Amino acid sequence: MEQVVRDLVALTGFSAQDSQILRENAAHLQQWTDELTKVFYDTLYAYPRTAQVFVDGERPHREITLHDWYLEVISGQIKPEFWQRQWFVGLMHIKRGVDNQFLFGILSRVQLFFMDKCYQDFDPVKATRVFVAFKRMTDVIAGLIVESYRQQYLHAVERASGINQALIHRMAVVETVRMIVEIRGEEQGSSS
């Protein structure tokens, strides 16, 4: 997990300065917590494919979790335990049937909501700085959750089947090459 975080931090450009920007603006950003939570869950509950992930009566508990998550993100004071909890979310997504496209879709909605609020409340330069800090942070989180999902899924298959991950990976590569050849063959055949 630590290497995944390091890779994502390096590639997104997330820095201590981003954390500082969030920390300096946390009091203002907290004002958006309830609205962000409402947008998040209204969106998920309104779309049948994501609504089916939830059980009856669960929304208030999930809203508390998101509320606390958002406050921790904007605090700009992220501890290693935070990254471990994000890693665990990947496992929960496997268990609950939360596909990665759902994660990216709702994260995009959250990031755009946050951006709109920034440009409503701050001058353009500050809005950009605050939004970029939040986007980098949430991009690292999303990448961590998705990689956790992938790695933990493979680990679960390995444990359940007894086939080691190196062999699973090799089988996937061999089959992927076949699929690429099939697709390219179809593309060449359709262009003739």
In terms of domains, do 152 and 84 share one? yes
Predicted local confidence at residue 186, as pLDDT? 77
In terms of domains, do 62 and 78 share one? yes
Sign of torsion, CA 33 89 128 17? positive
Predicted local confidence at residue 89, as pLDDT? 96
User: What are the average pLDDT values for consecutive 10-residue runs of the chain, which has 192 residues?
Assistant: 96 97 98 98 97 96 97 95 96 95 97 98 98 98 97 95 94 96 82 54
Q: How many domains does the chain have?
A: 2
Predicted local confidence at residue 128, as pLDDT? 98
In terms of domains, do 185 and 143 share one? no
Rounded to whole angstroms, how far apart are CA atoms 152 and 141? 16
pLDDT in tens, 24-71: 999 999 999 999 999 999 999 999 999 999 999 999 999 999 999 999
In terms of domains, do 122 and 191 share one? no
Task: Tell me the two tokens of residue 91.
Answer: 């496992």
Query: Nearest Cα to 77, choosing from 16, 125, 147, 118?
Result: 16
In terms of domains, do 175 and 88 share one? no
Please enumerate in sequence order all residues whose Cβ is within 8 A of that of 135, keeping only pairs 6 or more positions apart, or say none. Answer: 111, 114, 115
In terms of domains, do 172 and 190 share one? yes
In terms of domains, do 150 and 63 share one? yes
In terms of domains, do 106 and 138 share one? yes
Rounded to whole angstroms, how far apart are CA atoms 158 and 17? 40
CA 66 to chain CA centroid, nearest Å = 13
Q: Which CATH number does the domain housing residue 13 bear?
A: 1.10.490.10
Predicted local confidence at residue 191, as pLDDT? 58
In terms of domains, do 121 and 179 share one? no
Q: Give the residue numbers spanning the domain of 135.
A: 2-161
Predicted local confidence at residue 189, as pLDDT? 66
Predicted local confidence at residue 185, as pLDDT? 87
Backbone angles phi, psi at 98, to 5 degrees: -90, 100
Predicted local confidence at residue 187, as pLDDT? 73
